[in-house]
Amino acid sequence: MRVRPGGWRVRTRGVVGDLALRRQALTVGGAEQQVIIVYQAVPGSPSEAALARLL
């Protein structure tokens, strides 16, 4: 598995407001054309609480 360059993104969701999320793109060896995008919030942050409310 290879991690592609990521970064921080701010997304706005009408129900919970702004979410500051770290973005990572992961590829699997032998299938580089397929990418898994993972977004995560800092533990204990308001963004983490907002994500929990979306579930």
What integer pLDDT is reported at residue 46 of this predicted model?
92
What does the pLDDT look like over 4-23, one tens digit per residue? 556 777 777 678 888 888 88
Whether pTM exceeds 0.85: no
Counting residues of the chain whose pLDDT is more than 70, the rounded percentage is: 82
With a cut of 80, say whether residue 47 has pLDDT above it.
yes
Q: Hey, how many other C-beta atoms are within 10 angstroms of the C-beta on 47? A: 21
Handedness of CA 47, 14, 37, 10 (dihedral sign): negative
For residue 7, which of 37, 48, 51 has the smallest C-alpha distance?
37
